[in-house]
Structure 1
C-alpha cells in the first residue's frame, strides 16, 4: 500500500506531500489542475519512462519519493532478496531523481538501483490503468499471462515444471543443432584445437622460465667483461710477487693504528674503521676468487638458450604476450577440446536425451493446455457475471485457443491464447482488441480487475479516468466495482463522476493557483462538508445550488449506507 508520496519540482508541482490510507481514495478537481500529473509521478516512481520535460522550469531536478507498506507481498520480497536490498522494516521506500542532464538516480530502501530494477519492484507494488491505456487487455500476447494468473494454483506448478524441462531441452537442442549445421566447421575446430594443445604442451613451458633464460643469456653474453673485471679486482686486492695488494697494505695500516689506539679515543675510532675495511676486503677477495673458480664458458649453452627463447617468442606471437598467458590459453582450449570430443562421442546419447525431453515436454504441455482450458471456462463464467453487473449482459466473452498453428514449444508452453468478445447478439465473435469500444474496454477491464484483484497481489491499483464516457447506471456500476476492488487492494482513482467519488473512503481536491506568476498545484484533504461541496460542484458544474448540495448528500448517504 502506498502510504506517503513526496513530489518536488515535478511539472507544475513545486512541493507536495500526500499521505494515503487503505481502501478507496479519489482525486477530484477541475481539468488541468494536475490530477494526472500526480499519477504520472507515481508511475515514474514505479519505474516508468522519465524525461527532463517533467522537471519544473527553473529547477535542476525533479525528486519523487514514495513509502509503501510491504505487508506480505511475496513477489516484492523475493525481488529485494534477489538484488540484495535490505528490508527488515515492514515499509519500503522508493526514490527517484530526474536531473536536468538526463541522468536518473534511483534508490530502493537507500540502495542505488537502475531503472530496470526500479520498474521490476514497482510493478509488484503499483498497477496503473489509464483512460486510453488498457495495458494488458489491448495486448493479445499478454492474455495468456492473465489467464495463468487467474488459474495460478492449478497452472503455476505445471508451468514451473514445464519451464525447467524446456530450459534443459533448449540448451541441448542448441548444441545438437549447432554441431549438425556446422559439421565441417566443427571438425576443423577440433583439428585446430588439437594442434594448438599439442604445440603448447610439447613446448613444456614453465612459469618464470623466460625471465630466468634472459638473465642467464645476459650473463653469458657478458662473460669476458665479467671475467676481466673480477681478475683485475683480485689483482688489486691480493699480493702479486713483490707488489703488495690492497689487503696487505690495509693490514699494515691496521697494525700501525692498533699501536696508538689506546692513546686517544679518536685514534681508536680510526683504527676500528680501518680494521673493518680490512676484513671486508678479505671477504670480497674470497667471493671474487670463488666467482672466478666457478666461471666456465659454454658456447653451446648460449645457443640452447637462444633457441629456447625463440621457441617461446613464436608461441607468444600466437597465444599470448607472456608464458603465463600462453599457459592460461592452453587450459582454456584444452577444456573446449575436451567438451567437443565428449559431444562427438555422446552424439547418439544426445539424440536419446532430446527424445526423452521432448516426450516429457509434450506430456506437460498437454497437461498445461488442459488446465488452462478448464480455467478458461470458469473465467468466461466469472467475466459474464461481472459484465452483467456492469450492464453488458448481452456481451459474450471467451478465451480463444488458436489450434491452426503447428505445435511449437515456447517458454509458456504450446498455447496461443487471445480474449474474444461479442458485444451484441448476432454479431461475430472476434478479438477483444478489435471489437471493444473505449467504454466497453473500461468495463471489461474493471470486470477482469475485480476477478484478478485477490490473486495478483499488487498493493496499490490506480485508475486514471477509466470512467470517461459513461454515465447514469453504468457510472454507478463502475463505481461499485472500483469500490469492490478496493476491498482487496488500495485503490487511487482520478474521476469526474460524482457516483465514483461518492463511493470513496477518502477524497482529495486538486486545484491550481498562480503564485508570483507561476502556476502551482495544491492538494487538500476533504472532510465531510468539503466532500458535499465538491460533489455538488461535480453534479452542477460552476454554480452550486441547494438542489445539487442535497443531491450530493444523498449520494454520500447511499454510498456509505
Structure 2
C-alpha cells in the first residue's frame, strides 16, 4: 500500500507531505484547488513522461517521493529482486523518487538506485492502479472490453497458450514465405550447380592430387635427362677407372696418412676425408638405385599430361587456383546438397505451418470457451451492481463470438461486445448506442469495482469516476467503494458528499494565494472537520444547521454499514 507521499515544487504545490492510511480515503476540496495533484505526482512516480511544466514557477526542480509498504505484496518483491532493486535496509519498504528539472530533464530512483521509466512502469503495475475521469470511455473499445473480461476470468494459461501458438505459427510462416520468395533463385542456382558438380564429380580430383600430378609430370617429362645425368654422376663418382671422385679422395687419405705422423693437425682433415669417402660411396649407391627405379613410360606421361591439362582447364573455368580445385568441388557439392535440403524443407515447413495453425485454432477455441463462461458470470455481476445504481431495469449481456475468418492475432479470434438494455422491453445493444453519459459512468464504475476485486494491485485510485452520478445512486457508489476499501487501499477524488461520507479517512485539498503566487495544500481531516466539509459539499459555501445535521447523519449511516 502507499504509506507516504512527499511532493516538492510540483505544479502549484510548494511542499506537501501526506501520510496515507488503509481503507477508503476520500479526497475533497474546492473546484480548481488541485484535488488531482497527488494523482498526477504518483503518475510521474510510476513512469509517466515529464516536462518542464511540472516544475513550480521559480523553482529549480520538482521532486516526488512515494513510500510503499510491501507487506504481503510478493509480486512487487519479486520484481525488485529480479532487477536488483530491493532495499538493503527493509525488504518490506520501497521508495520511488522522481526528480524533474526546470529544463525538463528527468531522473528516477527506486530504493536509491537509478531506474528507467520502463522499470518504473514495470514495478508500478504491482503497486498502484489509477482509474481516471475518462476511464469509462474506454468501455466503448473492444480491446478494453476483452481485457476486462480476461482480467475477470483469470485464465492466464489459456492466454499464454494462444500467444505462444500464434508466435510459433507466425515464425514458421515467415520462414516458409522466405523460402518461397527465394524459390526461383534457388532453382536457377540448382540448375547451374547440377552441371558444375556433375562435371567435377566425373573428374573426381583428390585432395593434394594436383600437387602430385605436377611433380610426376615434371619427372616423366624430363625422364631421359634425369637418367643420363644420374648415370654420368655415378660414373664420375665411383665407376670411372681413369679417375673418379672416390678414388681421388681415397688417394688423398693415403698420402696425408703418411704425413700424419709428422703433423697431428692433419688428423681432423683426414677424418673429414674419410667421412666424404663414405658419403660419396653412399651417394653413388643411391644414384644407382635411382637409375634402376626411374621409368621412362610414354603412356603414363600421356595420362598424366591429360589429367594435368584437364585440372588446369577446370581451374580456369571456375576461376580458382588448380591447387584449390578439390576444396572448390567440396564447397559446390555442399551448397548443392543444402539447396536440395531446402527443397525438402519447403515441403516440411508447409506441413508444420498447417500443424501450427491447427494448434493456434485449438488454443483460441479453448480461450473462447473460457471467455464465454466468464462472460456469463461477469454480465450477472455487472447487472447486479448497476441495478442498485438507479438502473433497476438494466440487463447486461456479454457476447463472445468466435470467428475463424477474423484476422488472426495473439489475443485470439473472438469478437467481444458488451451489451446493455436500460429499459423494459428494450433489446440489448452496444453500449454506445444505448446508454447516456451518466449511465456509462455508472456501468464503468461497476466494472472497475468488479475488476478491481479480481486484481492484485494493493492500492487503487479513482479520480472523479462518480461524475454524472447523484442522489441515491451516489450513496450506492460510495458503499461500493467502501466495500472495496475493506479489502484494499482505495483513494477517491470526489465532489459527492454521499461518496465522501463512506470513506474511512478524508483528505481536504485547499488552495492558498497571496495575490502573486498560489500554493496547494492537503490536510487530513478530523471527525469534526469531516462534518464541516461534508456540510460544505451538501450546501455550498454557506453552511447551515440542516447541512451539518445531514453531514452527521451521512457519517453515522456510513459507519453503521
Q: Which residue of structure 1 lines up, in the alignment, with residue 465 of structure 2?
A: 466
Instruction: Give the number of the structure whose alpha-carbon radius of gyration is greater.
Output: 2
Structure 1 spans left out of the alignment, 5+ residues: 196-314, 316-334
Alignment of 1:200-211 (within 5 A): none
Matched, 1:507 2:506: yes
Q: Which residue of structure 1 lines up, in the alignment, with residue 444 of structure 2?
A: 445
Q: Which residue of structure 1 lines up, in the alignment, with residue 350 of structure 2?
A: 351
Q: Which residue of structure 1 lines up, in the alignment, with residue 559 of structure 2?
A: 560
The root-mean-square deviation of aligned C-alpha atoms, in Å, is: 3.1
Q: Which residue of structure 2 lines up, in the alignment, with residue 385 of structure 1?
A: 384
What's the CA shift for 1:190? 9.4
Q: Report Cα offsets for 1:237-288 as digits up to 9, x if no partner.
A: xxxxxxxxxxxxxxxxxxxxxxxxxxxxxxxxxxxxxxxxxxxxxxxxxxxx
Alignment of 1:398-477 (within 5 A): 398-402=397-401, 406-477=405-476
Q: Report Cα offsets for 1:116-149 as digits up to 9, x if no partner.
A: 3322322332222222333642432121121111
Please tell me whether the aligned partners of residues 449 and 485 of structure 1 are also in contact (alpha carbons under 8 angstroms).
no
Alignment of 1:71-470 (within 5 A): 71-86=71-86, 89-134=91-136, 136-152=138-154, 155-185=155-185, 343-402=342-401, 406-470=405-469
Matched, 1:58 2:58: yes
Partner SS, residue 467 of structure 2: coil
Q: Which residue of structure 2 lines up, in the alignment, with residue 15 of structure 1?
A: 15
Deviates more, 1:370-379 or 1:34-43: 34-43
What's the CA shift for 1:479? 0.7
Please tell me whether the aligned partners of residues 77 and 91 of structure 2 are also in contact (alpha carbons under 8 angstroms).
no
Please tell me whether the aligned partners of residues 165 and 361 of structure 1 are also in contact (alpha carbons under 8 angstroms).
yes
Q: Report Cα offsets for 1:479-504 as digits up to 9, x if no partner.
A: 11111121222111111111111111
Relative distance call for 1:54 and 1:187 in structure 2 (3 A) is farther
Please tell me whether the aligned partners of residues 441 and 468 of structure 2 are also in contact (alpha carbons under 8 angstroms).
no
Partner SS, residue 85 of structure 2: coil
Q: Report Cα offsets for 1:65-116 as digits up to 9, x if no partner.
A: 1111223435434543453433561122222122222222122222322223
Q: Distance in 2 between matches of 1:558 and 1:370?
A: 44
Please tell me whether the aligned partners of residues 453 and 489 of structure 1 are also in contact (alpha carbons under 8 angstroms).
no
Q: Which residue of structure 2 lines up, in the alignment, with residue 546 of structure 1?
A: 545
Count of aligned pairs between the two proteins = 424
What's the CA shift for 1:187? 6.0
Please tell me whether the aligned partners of residues 44 and 50 of structure 2 are also in contact (alpha carbons under 8 angstroms).
yes
Relative distance call for 1:139 and 1:119 in structure 2 (3 A) is farther
Q: Report Cα offsets for 1:173-223 as digits up to 9, x if no partner.
A: 111112213423566899999x9xxxxxxxxxxxxxxxxxxxxxxxxxxxx
Structure 2 spans left out of the alignment, 5+ residues: 197-319, 321-333
Q: Distance in 2 between matches of 1:178 and 1:382?
A: 49
Q: Distance in 2 between matches of 1:487 and 1:374?
A: 28
Q: Distance in 2 between matches of 1:189 and 1:121?
A: 54
Relative distance call for 1:178 and 1:491 in structure 2 (3 A) is same
Name the TM-score, length of structure 1 as normaliser.
0.69
Matched, 1:529 2:510: no
Please tell me whether the aligned partners of residues 28 and 508 of structure 1 are also in contact (alpha carbons under 8 angstroms).
yes
Relative distance call for 1:192 and 1:501 in structure 2 (3 A) is farther
